[in-house]
Amino acid sequence: MNYDLLMQRAINISAPYKYLVKPNPMVGALIVKDDKVLAEGAHEKFGEAHAEVNCFNSLRDKIDEDHVMICTLEPCNHYGKTPPCTEKIIESGIKKIIIGSLDPNPKVAGTGIKRLKDAGLEVSYGVLEKEVRELNKFFFFKHENGRPFITIKIASSADWKSHSKDGSTTWITSEASRKDVQVVRAEHDAILTGGNTIRTDKPRMNARVEFPLIQPQKILLSEQKKWDLSLDFFQDSQVNIIGETNLVKVVEELSKRDLNSLLVEAGPKLVNSFLDEGLCDEMIVYQSPDKLGENGVSWFQNEAIIDKYGLSLKSSYTIDRDKKTVFEK
Ligand code: AOF
Ligand code: ZN
C-alpha cells in the first residue's frame, strides 16, 4: 500500500476544518483495505468527535485482519472533552495503524502509541510527519516551546511610519490588505493589543471573514481597569484585560491557557517591547507605497531592527498597491 499517498489524503480531509477546530489540531483518519479507502473522518469541530471516531462511524464493513487505520496524529489516550480514541481503536479489532506524527500534547505524547502497542496492534509512525507538523504549526509550537506562537502584524507607510502625529486616522494600507488581515486574525487563537490602540483607533479586532470560524479571543494589556464595554472591541468574543506590564510574565500567564497562537496588533511602543523581549516568532508587514513623512510616527528607530531581532525574510508579495512581507525567526 502507498502509505504516503493515503496519509496525504488523510491530511487533506482534515484541512478544511482549520478555523473550527483550533486550538485543537486538524486531524484526519482513514480505514483502508487492499489499497481501497473504505472510511474516512476528520476532527470537524472543537470539543466534538475526534477524527478516528468519525472514521469508524462512516465504516460499513466488519473489521478483519486486513484492515489498516491511517491517522495523521497519534490517537489520544486521555479523557479530554471526548473519551480516548485508543480504546475505540482497540475495541474495533483493527490490527494495524499507520500514524503521521506523535502528539506533542503532554497529555498524550507517546502514551497513545504505547497503549495501542500494549494491546497488540502493529503500530508505525513518521509517515509525512513534516507535512502534519507544518499544517498544525501553532499546535506543535505551543506544546514544544511551552508558550503560544507569537505573530506581530503591522501596517506601515513606505517610510516605516505607523500613523500621523496629528491623529488623522486615514488608512495607510489598501482595502485589499485590510481584508487579508481578517484571515490572519481568523488563523490565530487570540489577538492582543494595548489600551492606547483601543482609545485612539477604536478597533473591533474580530475576524471578518466569509467562512465559519471560532473567533479569536481578545487580550487587552492595560492598567486601566474600567472600560466602556459598548466599544466595538468588547463585542464578538471573550475579552481578557491584563494589568501586568512585564511582557515575559504576561506571556507566561497566557501560556497556561488553551492558546497556541497570539497575534499582536498594537502601536509602536508595545510592538517594540515584544521585539525587545524576543517575543516574536513571525512578523507580518503590510506596507503602502505612500510616505507619511515628517508628520509620521516611526515604527522602529531604524529599519535594520528586523535583522537585529533575528528575523529573516520568509515571503514577500503584492496585495493591490501594497506589499505584504513576512519575516520569521
Ligand atoms: C485524536 N484525534 O481528531 C484530535 C486529537 O479535548 P479533546 O478530547 O477534544 O482532546 C483534545 C486533544 O486531543 C488535543 O489537544 C490533541 O492533543 C488531541 N487531538 N487527538 O486522537 C483527533 N483532534
Ligand atoms: Zn482522540
Residues 26-41: pLDDT tens digits? 999 999 999 899 999 9
Q: Is residue 54 part of a domain?
A: yes
Query: Which ligand 1 atom lies nearest to the CA of residue 46?
Result: 9
What pLDDT band is residue 61 in, cutting at 50, 70 and 90? confident
Q: Span 95-121, mean pLDDT?
A: 96
Tell me the sheet residues that pair with 36.
33
157 with 116, same domain: the answer is: no
Q: Give the range of the structural domain holding residue 184, as residue numbers without chain letter.
A: 147-328
CA distances from 271 to 167, 241, 259, 265, 286 (A): 19, 18, 20, 8, 15
Co-location of 247 and 296 in the same domain: yes
Give φ, ψ of 194 to 5 degrees: -115, 165
Domain count, the chain: 2
pLDDT at 303: 66
- For residue 169, pLDDT over 80 is answered with no
Model pLDDT, residue 220: 96
Q: Do both 179 and 92 map to the same domain? A: no
Domain stop point among 137, 159, 174: 137
**Which atom of ligand 1 lies at the shortest distance from residue 75's CA?**
21
CA of 291 to the centre of ligand 2 (A): 52
Q: Where are the alpha helices (DSSP H) in the chain?
A: 3-14, 18-21, 51-57, 85-92, 111-118, 129-135, 137-145, 175-187, 195-201, 247-255, 268-276, 305-308
For the cut 90, the answer to whether the pLDDT of residue 80 exceeds it is no
How far apart are alpha carbons 119 and 116 in whole angstroms?
5
Q: What is the pLDDT of residue 309?
A: 83
* Residues 157, 303 share a domain: yes
CATH number of 298's domain = 3.40.430.10
User: Domain check: are 101 and 65 in the same one?
Assistant: yes
Domain's final residue, options 114, 137, 160: 137
**Residue 171 and residue 234 share a domain:** yes
Phi, psi of 230, rounded to the nearest 5 degrees? -85, -5
| Ligand 1 atom 13: residue of nearest CA | 76
pLDDT for the residue numbered 165: 85
Pocket, ligand 1, Cβ cutoff 6 A:
24-25, 27, 43, 50-52, 73, 75-76, 80-82, 85, 103, 105, 108
| Substitution candidate for ligand 1 out of 50, 54, 69 with most atoms within 8 A of CB | 50
β-pairing verdict for 296-298 and 322-328: unpaired
Spatial distance between the Cα atoms of 304 and 292, rounded to a whole number of angstroms: 19
**Residue range 3-31, pLDDT digits in tens:** 999 999 999 999 999 999 999 999 999 99
Please give the average per-residue pLDDT across 130-151, as a whole number.
Answer: 98
Mark whether 236 and 321 lie in a shared domain: yes
Do 123 and 98 share a structural domain?
yes
Among 137, 168, 197, the domain-final residue is 137
In the chain, the percentage of residues whose pLDDT exceeds 70 is 98
More confident residue, 298 or 133: 133
Model confidence over 196-250: pLDDT tens digits?
Answer: 889 888 889 999 999 999 999 999 999 998 888 999 999 988 899 999 999 999 9
Q: Are 91 and 160 contained in the same domain?
A: no
Closest CA to 322 of 273, 297, 287, 292: 287
**85-92 and 111-118 helices cross at what angle (nearest 10)?**
20
DSSP 247-304: HHHHHHHHHTSS-SEEEE---HHHHHHHHHTT--SEEEEEE-SS--GGGEEESSSSTT
Kindly state whether residues 285 and 162 are assigned to the same domain: yes
Closest Cα partner for 73 from 119, 45, 41?
41
The answer as to whether 233 is a domain residue is yes
- Rounded to an integer, what distance in angstroms lies between the CA atom of residue 15 and that of residue 283? 24
Indicate which CATH number applies to the domain containing 67: 3.40.140.10
What pTM was estimated for this model as a whole?
Answer: 0.94
Q: Which of 76, 99, 214 is the best mutation target for the ligand 1 pocket, counting ligand atoms within 8 Å of the beta carbon and taking the most?
A: 76
Task: Indicate which atom in ligand 1 lies nearest the CA of residue 112.
Answer: 21
Residues 132 and 224 in one domain: no
Q: What are the pLDDT digits (tens) for 298-309?
A: 998 766 667 788
- The 10s digit of each residue's pLDDT in 179-196 is 999 999 999 999 999 998
Interval 270-278 mean pLDDT: 93
